[in-house]
Amino acid sequence: MTFRLEGRVAIITGGARGIGAETTRVFREAGAKVTTWDVGDPADMKVDVTDADAVRTAVADVVAKHGRIDVLVNNAGILRDAQLIKLRDEAVTGGMSEADFDAVLDVNAKGMFICTQAVAPIMIKQGSGRILNASSVVGLYGNFGQTNYVASKAAVIGMTKVWARELGPRGITVNAVAPGFIGTEMVRQMPERILATMVEHTPVRRLGEPRDVAYAYLYLASDEAAFVNGTVLSVDGGVVVGT
């Protein structure tokens, strides 16, 4: 059995690189018409997911071109890692800034809210749709030095479950994917000792690849996942997040 998306119209946020770019490739191979949104190049449309007016305009453009929206992959996200507080000799010497906390929540959580709220009315009129949200294994288990990122990815899980209840009766399923340590270009530039620790904490003893996550999105977008709603699918190799 091959999961297919012939004739489906999809929007993938954060689609210029990494998991978003790979999901775009996989969806197009499966027959979908994909529009990628990103704040950088290359993307089909330059869209800041924190800008509600820009998102609404971009949604209208996709509908004008294709007549419908069948799949929204809320993949856009950023990192601004830091410990809550840093101590030296029991004295506080620094910590996560309020600006970095706000920036991550704005993109990873509020941006997802803005995009979903803009696309949902289109799907409601159609009586069908798939909304797929990027969470993370750290949203389930927490992680050292990632207060803002963990908060945003835990929020994604909560919003997914709310929207699954609200939109399910309208023929729209809402699910989340929680990747573990994925070997994107950014991750592979980390020091070897950090990469080795990631592999050590992953029982299958390798980093995930962007395609591992992309195929999870493909399944959830397909007809074969029609009865899957409100779930969080971990794509993590059985990872145990350390401290």
pLDDT tens profile 30-83: 999 999 999 988 889 999 999 999 999 999 999 999 999 999 999 999 999 999
Q: The domain containing residue 149 runs over which residues?
A: 9-229
Quickly state the pLDDT bin for 94 (edges 50, 70, 90). very high
Query: Has residue 239 been placed in a domain?
Result: no
Query: Has residue 56 been placed in a domain?
Result: yes
**pLDDT recorded at residue 243:** 44
What CATH number should be reported for the domain holding residue 132?
3.40.50.720
pLDDT of residue 148 exceeding 90, the answer is: yes
Query: Has residue 2 been placed in a domain?
Result: no
Structural domain tally of the chain?
A: 1
Give the pLDDT mean for 155-164. Answer: 98
Average model confidence (pLDDT) across the chain:
95
Quickly state the pLDDT bin for 242 (edges 50, 70, 90). low
Query: Has residue 79 been placed in a domain?
Result: yes
Query: Has residue 48 been placed in a domain?
Result: yes
pLDDT in tens, 164-193: 999 999 999 999 999 998 988 877 877 888
What's the CA angle centered on 193, arms 191 and 197, to 5 degrees? 120
Query: Has residue 3 been placed in a domain?
Result: no
3-state secondary structure of 59: helix
Task: Identify whether the C-beta of residue 198 lies closer than 8 Å to the C-beta of residue 184.
Answer: no
Query: Has residue 188 been placed in a domain?
Result: yes
Torsion of CA 144, 148, 152, 157, to 10 degrees: 30
Quickly state the pLDDT bin for 209 (edges 50, 70, 90). very high
Query: Has residue 235 been placed in a domain?
Result: no
Active centre residues (catalytic): 149
Give the pLDDT mean for 140-147. Answer: 92
**pLDDT recorded at residue 187:** 79
